[in-house]
Amino acid sequence: MSINLVKDFMSALVSKGTREDNRGLFDYRDIQIEVNPLERACGSAKVTIGDTQVLVGVKMDVGEPFPDTPEEGILMVNAELSPLASPDFESGPPKFNSIELARVVDRGIRESHCIDTSKLCIKPKEKVWMVFVDIYPLNASGNLLDAAAIGAIVALQNAVFPVYDEAEEKVKYKEFTKEKLPIERTPVMATFAKINGTIFLDPSYREEEVMDARISITTTEKGLLAAMQKGGKGTFTFDEVAMLVDKAFEIGDNTRKLV
């Protein structure tokens, strides 16, 4: 098997504690957040991390609850990896699975009890609010996960209920109230990648192409771990995982200041 020239280069760089764009191992690229850019969404955010650009929109509707949670609202997170955002999304095995992206972001929100779903009940067993979080990457240039997760929490924090006509039992999709979603916690995700033994935060496009493995860790304020996901064909040691959990809180607290 051939030696991967670019991987060797990256590996050598990060093992010396530096990266192609001069970042430190645990620095993010520049993060920019635009709040509510979308007119028709209940809440929305456009997040850029370096060159990665993600649009997240929250839409709400009323429907039947799940039978095992008759008095709780429903959260659904979806991601659309359109080939618009990357030459890699068209043909061949996808570099990043849209389902995994959605589910990892979902887990962070759901498991942290970010939204108090008990406050989303309109009529037990019959009508509850459904909260849809739709993630649309516009430019996939490394670490879609963190960009999507930041976008999701910002969109949710800024989301307002649409008007619900109780008499007609219909949602007025074009009219919004001033009532915000009941948000209890602020989960944020930190994604790390590993190349030949060196671990670093926020992989760029090129770093992602050659990384051995990644791990995403979602934390909330007050030191709660909400979700974790390891991906890629490489491995992490137990010590590395423990170290990264600590790092994730440190980084998460900083990210929380932005959202």
Partner 1 sequence: MEEKIYTKDREIVIPGDLLAEGMDFLPAGKAFRESDKIYASTIGLVSIKGRVIKVIPLAGRYMPKVGDVIIGKVTGIGFSGWQVDIDSPYNADLNIGEASQGYIDLGKTDMSKFFDIGDYLLGEIISITESKFVKLTAKNRPYRRLRGGNVIQVSPSKIPRIIGKQGSMINTLKKNSDCDVIVGQNGLVWIKGTPEKEAVVAQAIKLIETESHKSGLTDRIKTMLEKIKSAQPSEPAKEEVKEGGQ
Partner 2 sequence: MGGGIGAPEHLIVNGKRLDGRKLDEIRPLKIMAGVIKNADGSCQLEFGKTKIVATVYGPREALPKHISRPDRAVITCDYTMASFSTPERGRPGPNRRSSEISNLIADSLAPAIMLQKYPRTMINVYITVTNANAGTRCAAITAAAVALADAGIEMRDLVTSLAAGKIENHLALDLFEVEDNFGDADVPIAVMPRTEEVTLLQMDGRLTPEEFKTILKMLRKQVHEIYKVQKQALISKYKQEKSEEEVEQ
Residues that bind partner 1 (CB under 8 A): 1-6, 8-9, 12-13, 16, 18-22
* Residues recorded for the chain: 259
Stretch that binds partner 2, among 86-94, 114-122, 144-152, 228-236 (CB under 8 A): 86-94
Least Å distance, CB 14 to partner 1, is 9
Pull the structure tokens for residue 69. 């949670």
Taking CB under 8 A as the rule, does residue 82 contact partner 2? yes
Taking CB under 8 A as the rule, does residue 78 contact partner 2? yes
Q: Is there a contact between 140 and 86 (Cβ–Cβ < 8 Å)?
A: yes
Binding residues with partner 2: total (CB under 8 A): 32
Out of 11, 36, 86, 191, point to the residue binding partner 2 (CB under 8 A): 86
Phi, then psi, of 192 in degrees rounded to 5: -115, 150
Nearer to partner 1, 19 or 107 (CB): 19
Q: Is there a contact between 151 and 108 (Cβ–Cβ < 8 Å)?
A: no
Nearer to partner 1, 20 or 175 (CB): 20
Taking CB under 8 A as the rule, does residue 62 contact partner 2? no
Residue recorded with tokens 């850019």: 37
Phi, then psi, of 254 in degrees rounded to 5: -65, -45
Q: Is there a contact between 236 and 230 (Cβ–Cβ < 8 Å)?
A: yes
H-only helix segments in the chain: 5-15, 98-111, 144-157, 205-210, 238-258
Nearer to partner 2, 7 or 95 (CB): 95
Positions in the binding site for partner 2 (CB under 8 A): 38-41, 44, 51, 53, 55, 57-59, 61, 78, 80, 82-87, 90-91, 132, 134, 136, 138-141, 171, 173-174
